Amino acid sequence: MGRCSLCGKTSAFISKELQVCLACIRNRPEDSIDIARSIHAHSRSTFDLPLTPPRDPKGIPCTLCANECRIPEGGRGYCGLRTNEHGRLTGASTMQGKLSWYHDPLPTNCVADWVCPGGTGAGYPVFSYCRGPELGYRNLAVFFHACSFNCLFCQNWQFKQEGLPQRYRTPEELAESVDERTSCICYFGGDPGPQLPFSLEASRLALEMNPERIVRICWETNGSMHPDLLDEMIDIASFSGGCIKFDLKAWDENLHTVLTGASNRRPLENFQRLVQKAEQRPVPPLAVASTLLVPGYIDEEEVRSIARFIAGIDPDTPYSLIAFYPHFYFSDMPLTPKESALRCQKAALDEGLTNVNLGNIHLLV
């Protein structure tokens, strides 16, 4: 049972760590963001990460994501991957990355498994080996150990515990892990955004090394990357039969800032850019959206607004609503109530979307 430090309300749907309720976030955004800022700072100091994106006017600029860090001498960027050492950036780059990977049998628990070739056979025979699920084939799941956001409900927060790697991995190592039963590569994390040059290089190598085979390239991301990098992702995913999955975490910018420590302006702009370009390859769908139904914070109103935004671009864009499991600073929160998830699904459909899925339904209570 959490208590809102602004209005005094108590509820199981108020985070004990955040101590701010949804109503106050909407009605008292400045006070809510001030409180959230201290929570985010504490959560990052635990892992020795910069508390905020550095803005040193004399620092080295990094433009890979919307944080647009200016990294001071001896300092690191917000994602923790790059350090300014004597006027040059060291750390993760196009040719070395902080990541790990494994093979996962298809169909797998992918955000897009209900519309993608690996789960449904969509795009057969050009982009899928089977008319249905690709049984007997594998996904190369690539986890990037860094993120441009700081979601208090992060489902994969454990990557922050690992610190800097003992050794970096190369694009060649990753590309060589594609074997004869690998039909897709999916980049996730953390988030691929801070290491997109690496994933783009590895993807090109993997396709060059497997010219006569189906190897789909997919990304699952918060969408905060530089638009030019998004265009490169679109080219590779479109050519290979992959999809780009945006996790649209909230519609209200203040709520998004409270929950993730970042604005949602760039993700929304990028998603519109993605969907507009996705018309060039409708099957299998190039653009897929998802939203985690964080109880007490991501409600019917948020989902309705996101769905209205998506439908205004292309109503056939697949949208998945994902059931929440308690993690990280929201470990005290309950599972997503089934009734709430169904209301959110109906709201999305009412806004004109034609393909709305409920994910992780085994977690609904």
Each residue's pLDDT tens digit, 332-357:
999 999 999 999 999 999 999 999 99
Phi, psi of 341 (to 5 degrees): -65, -40
Q: Do 146 and 37 have their domain in common? A: no
Task: Note whether 212 and 179 are within 8 A (CB).
Answer: no
Q: Do 68 and 3 have their domain in common? A: no
Q: Do 105 and 86 have their domain in common? A: no
Q: Do 289 and 355 have their domain in common? A: yes
Q: Do 176 and 27 have their domain in common? A: no
- Please, what are the averages of pLDDT over each run of 10 residues along the chain (365 residues)? 97 98 98 98 96 97 98 97 96 96 94 96 97 97 97 93 74 98 97 98 98 97 98 98 98 98 98 95 96 98 98 98 97 97 98 97 93
Host domain of residue 87:
51-91
Q: Is this structure's pTM higher than 0.85?
A: yes
Q: Do 210 and 230 have their domain in common? A: yes
Q: How confident is the model at residue 160, as a pLDDT?
A: 86
pLDDT in tens, 313-337: 999 999 999 999 999 999 999 999 9
Q: How confident is the model at residue 164, as a pLDDT?
A: 52
Q: Do 82 and 163 have their domain in common? A: no
Residue 297 C-alpha from the chain's centroid: 18
What would the two tokens of residue 167 be? Answer: 């050794």
Q: Do 130 and 260 have their domain in common? A: yes
Distance CA(129)–CA(106), nearest Å, equals 12
Distance CA(138)–CA(102), nearest Å, equals 10
Distance CA(327)–CA(316), nearest Å, equals 32
Distance CA(152)–CA(46), nearest Å, equals 13
Q: Do 117 and 152 have their domain in common? A: yes
Q: How confident is the model at residue 280, as a pLDDT?
A: 87
Q: How confident is the model at residue 167, as a pLDDT?
A: 77
For the chain, what is the radius of gyration of the CA atoms? 20
Q: How confident is the model at residue 161, as a pLDDT?
A: 80
Q: Do 39 and 63 have their domain in common? A: no
Q: Do 155 and 30 have their domain in common? A: no
**Tally of domains in the chain:** 3
Q: How confident is the model at residue 165, as a pLDDT?
A: 53
